[in-house]
Each structure stands twice: as structure tokens, then as C-alpha cells.
Amino acid sequence: MSESEDCHHERREGSAVRPHRENARRLADAARVATMGYIGHRMTTRSLLLSLLSLVLLGMLCHAAEPITCPASITTRQDLTAQVAGWTAMKDDTPHNLAGITFYDGPPAEKASLVYDQIKKVKGEQIATWTFDPHNKRQTWLACSYAGTIIELARTLPPQTTTCSVTYDTQESIAGMPLIKKIACK
């Protein structure tokens, strides 16, 4: 089984990405083998350290394989701040679909949004690519915005991330923006 298969993730309800339970079982089995030694023989300190280092590296590879993506939709709760005379407030429980993404140099509250470095147009798609300086001391953030709400979700990118490409479907739109098909970061 390859490392990419070993670190495989699957999509579940709400497009949340979660590791398979299989990964946790494999890591626990590897730890058990590392502490038992080779076929019941006592392990030397060196072989124990090498086994533990291997486990740490495997864990890092699995973490690095985690895709960077925005949830496809979110649900929110909104209320009027004051009643409007002659009107009855109603609530629409339709989920809010992903409508846009923004990359930031530092926390989004600082409003230092980044512009893509390159954009390609190919058969009904646009692929925008951002390049990040790996030596920048400030963290790069990804913010996901949703149609019909002011709520956004934001997270930092892993420090080793140097590029992100976003593929847009120009044939479909959400809230006037092209549909986001894929986010790929390296």
C-alpha cells in the first residue's frame, strides 16, 4: 500500500474531510510493534528510537496529505435586531453554499488579502494560482465565504505551503461568482 493510500481521506456529510479510522489503527499497531521489539527480542535503545522516529515521520506524512479545502456549505442562525411593524419575520433554513475564497498575508482581520499570481483559462474553467514566500514570518490564511451570509470560515495554511491553485467552473455560478471546483495546495 502506498503512502498516499495509507494517508487517504474521505469526504463525508457536509464535505468535512476526516481521516479513515484505518490510519489510527495502523499507527497504534506500529507503536505496539515498536515497543515489543523484533519477534519478542529486546530492542536496543537505537532501534527503539529509530522505530519512534519512523512513527513520527509517518504521522507527519499523513498530516501533510490532508487536503486544504472549504466546507461546501454551512448553516447559520440569523435574527432581526428589531421587529418591523406590519411584517412577520420568517427563517429560511437553506444551507449557504461556498461562494468565494480569499488568501491573506496574516490574520484576515488585518485585511491583507492576496491577489493571484497567475490565471489560466481552459475549456470552461479558470485556474488561479497563488504563490507564497516560505520565508515569510507571517502565516498565510485561507478564508471561505458563503452565499447569503456574512459568516466566513478562516484557517491558517500549513507553514510549508508554497502554492495554492483554485479551479473555477465558469459555466456555473454562486452569488455571481464562478463555482469553486477544487482547491489544491502544495
Residues (pLDDT < 50) of the chain are 1-28, 30-41, 48, 52, 55-65
State if pTM tops 0.75. Answer: no
pLDDT in tens, 115-169: 999 999 999 999 999 999 989 999 999 999 999 999 999 999 999 999 999 999 9
Which phi and psi (to 5°) does residue 25 adopt?
-65, -45
Question: DSSP per residue over 139-173, as a string?
Answer: PEEEEEEETT-S-EEEEEPPTT--EEEEEEEEEEE
Tell the residue number behind the cell numbers 485585511, with chain if given.
111
How many Å apart are CA 23 and CA 68, to the nearest integer? 19
